């Protein structure tokens, strides 16, 4: 099977990406710019569809129910028989298990089969990481109100409840009493909203509340080497929820702490069998010692992929494509060049409103020289969900800075400039 780059006289490298959403859309763009033949498998409905204007990046669109693993497998295998694939890539975290099973069936590069559950199930990833001798939050699995209450007797308060397989901090909540904990679980169990067509899973972990600032270690694994590109500062909204209101790349952690984080992440990736490709490892640092929140074998969301590229000069999306092609990041031109010293994103919220009529100060904020991009997610007059997870954020601004300290001050200032008006 050919893995040739464009321009060699052989056929173009053919890459199939399953449901590219969020940062997964960057892979579609990069694959197109690299001259690859880009195939996308998508259901084409609701949040499982290509963003407007992306048709020009895609050579072939396979319309299939991507949440039906058998249907997805049948479609991909049939396509591969007629048009041999060089890579099959998950476009978002939910499809890592199905894609991993398929790449092994087709003999393509990918994660080990044993990683399938370890990188998705938050209970299993904690257990395997703890077995490797690394600190994780004390935790207990639960799947009913009775089990949740019993788990709290073991863990104590405050504690945190979170679904074992979800994303975007959905239904992640701190509880200080049994009543708060059971109410949080009841809210989770009653939630009928779909995320990429998937219903909420009522399996949870109840775990100890870990204090300290929160970060993500963002990077990739290649040829046995764990490369941490950024220890990213995460700026969260008010508890009991853990809504991410900003990210700063890089953070201001001292070199010794960064070394500890890198060593810890190396151990975690080995424990959960991330042998190649990207990782997004969320941590808290009580006393400057890393403790796992979770790890995923995917590109980070919330535009962190872009922030990392701007401030480090490395394209994580090209590194991911390279891993699923069995190549090195450098072979795909992942070293694209650093553009700024520090980059960040600020999310705007209106926690006391269910709707707003205007964002006072928005134009002044957007005109600031350090602001590079702005966007409104929830338009004036639209209903604003409660600020319990990412769905309650109404807009964002990307910005650059000369240092992590300056970036944090800009993040604070932007939040004070924009005021939602009822």
What digits encode the pLDDT tens for the residues 382-397?
999 999 999 999 999 9
pLDDT at 2 over 50: no
Query: What DSSP element (H or E) covers 281?
Result: strand 277-284
Residue 286 backbone class (left: φ over 0; alpha: ψ -120 to 50; beta: rest): beta
CATH number, position 385: 3.30.470.20
Query: What DSSP element (H or E) covers 191?
Result: none
CA nearest 399: which of 281, 301, 311, 300? 311
Q: Verify that 236 and 294 share a domain, yes or no.
A: yes
Structural domain total, the chain:
4
Residue 120 lies in a domain: no
Q: What is the pLDDT of residues 261-290, one digit of tens each?
A: 999 999 999 999 999 999 999 999 999 999
Distance CA 398, CA 379 (A): 18
Distance CA 168, CA 210 (A): 19
Least confident of 44-53, 143-152, 215-224, 251-260: 44-53
- 185, 208, 231 — which closes off a domain? 208
CATH number, position 53: 3.40.50.20
Q: Verify that 157 and 182 share a domain, yes or no.
A: yes
- 169, 190, 208 — which closes off a domain? 208
**Phi, psi of 361, rounded to the nearest 5 degrees:** 90, 0
Q: Verify that 352 and 316 share a domain, yes or no.
A: no
What pLDDT does 335 receive? 96
Residue 2 lies in a domain: no
Residue 129 lies in a domain: no
What pLDDT does 194 receive? 81
Q: Verify that 165 and 86 share a domain, yes or no.
A: no
Would the CA dihedral through 47, 53, 57, 60 be positive or negative? positive
Domain extent at residue 182:
138-208
Kindly give the pairing relationship between strand 371-376 and strand 393-401: antiparallel
Residue 278 lies in a domain: yes
Strands (DSSP E) contained in 319-422 are 342-349, 358-360, 371-376, 393-401, 419-421
Q: What is the pTM of this model?
A: 0.94
Overall average pLDDT of the 57-63 stretch: 97
Would the CA dihedral through 172, 173, 178, 180 be positive or negative? negative
pLDDT at 8 over 80: no
- Contact yes or no for 136/126 (Cβ under 8 A): yes
**Which pair of tokens denotes residue 319?**
């590194």
3-state class (DSSP) for residue 279: strand
Q: Verify that 171 and 249 share a domain, yes or no.
A: no
pLDDT band at 367 (very low <50, low <70, confident <90, very high): very high
Q: Verify that 194 and 215 share a domain, yes or no.
A: no
CA nearest 269: which of 169, 168, 104, 134? 134
> Which residues have a Cβ under 8 Å from the Cβ of 372 and sit 6 or more positions away?
398, 399, 400
Residue 318 lies in a domain: yes
Q: What is the pLDDT of residues 233-261, one digit of tens each?
A: 999 999 999 999 999 999 999 999 999 99
Distance CA 417, CA 398 (A): 14
Residue 8 lies in a domain: no
- Contact yes or no for 286/212 (Cβ under 8 A): yes
Distance CA 230, CA 282 (A): 12
Distance CA 126, CA 24 (A): 26
Percent of the chain with pLDDT over 70: 98
> Which residues have a Cβ under 8 Å from the Cβ of 115 and sit 6 or more positions away?
100, 272, 273, 274, 275, 297
Overall average pLDDT of the 131-136 stretch: 97
- 308, 336, 364 — which closes off a domain? 336
3-state class (DSSP) for residue 210: coil
Strands (DSSP E) contained in 130-241 are 139-142, 159-163, 173-175, 204-208, 214-222, 225-236
Q: Verify that 242 and 171 share a domain, yes or no.
A: no
- Contact yes or no for 404/232 (Cβ under 8 A): no
Q: Verify that 90 and 204 share a domain, yes or no.
A: no
Q: Verify that 415 and 344 share a domain, yes or no.
A: yes
């Amino acid at each position: 099977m050919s893995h040739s780059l464009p321009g060699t006289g052989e056929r173009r490298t053919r890459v199939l990406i399953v449901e590219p959403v969020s940062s997964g859309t960057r892979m579609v763009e990069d694959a197109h710019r690299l001259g690859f033949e880009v195939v996308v498998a998508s259901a084409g409905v609701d949040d499982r569809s290509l963003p407007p204007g992306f048709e020009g990046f895609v050579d072939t669109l396979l319309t299939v129910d991507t949440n039906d693993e058998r249907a997805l497998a049948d479609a991909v295998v049939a396509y591969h028989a007629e048009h041999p694939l060089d890579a099959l890539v998950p476009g978002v975290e939910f499809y890592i298990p199905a894609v991993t099973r398929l790449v092994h069936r087709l003999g393509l590069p990918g994660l080990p089969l044993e990683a399938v559950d370890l990188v998705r199930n938050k209970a299993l990833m904690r257990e395997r990481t703890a077995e490797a001798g690394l600190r994780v939050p004390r935790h207990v699995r639960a799947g009913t109100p009775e089990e949740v209450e019993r788990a709290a007797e073991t863990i104590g308060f405050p504690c945190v409840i979170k679904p074992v397989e979800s994303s975007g901090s959905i239904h992640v909540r701190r509880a200080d009493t049994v009543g708060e904990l059971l109410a949080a679980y009841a809210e989770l169990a009653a939630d009928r909203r779909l995320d990429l067509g998937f219903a909420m899973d009522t399996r949870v972990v109840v775990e100890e509340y870990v204090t300290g600032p929160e970060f993500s270690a963002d990077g990739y694994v290649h040829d046995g080497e764990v490369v941490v590109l950024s220890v990213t500062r995460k700026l969260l909204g008010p508890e009991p929820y853990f809504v991410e209101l900003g990210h700063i790349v890089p953070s201001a952690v001292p070199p010794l702490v960064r070394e500890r984080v890198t060593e810890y992440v190396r151990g975690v990736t080995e424990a959960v069998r991330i042998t190649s490709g990207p990782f997004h490892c969320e941590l808290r640092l009580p006393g400057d010692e890393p403790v796992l929140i979770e790890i995923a074998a995917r590109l980070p969301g919330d535009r962190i992929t872009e922030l990392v590229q701007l401030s480090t000069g490395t394209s994580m999306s090209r590194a991911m494509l390279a891993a699923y092609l069995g190549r090195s990041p450098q072979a795909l031109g992942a070293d694209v060049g650093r553009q700024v010293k520090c980059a960040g994103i600020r999310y705007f919220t209106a926690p006391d409103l269910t709707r707003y009529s205007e964002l006072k100060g928005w134009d002044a904020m957007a005109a600031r020289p350090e602001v590079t991009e702005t966007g409104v997610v929830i338009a004036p007059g639209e209903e604003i969900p409660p600020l319990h997870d990412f769905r309650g954020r109404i807009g964002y601004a990307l910005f650059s800075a000369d240092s992590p300290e300056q970036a944090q001050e800009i993040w604070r200032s932007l939040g004070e400039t924009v005021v939602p008006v009822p």
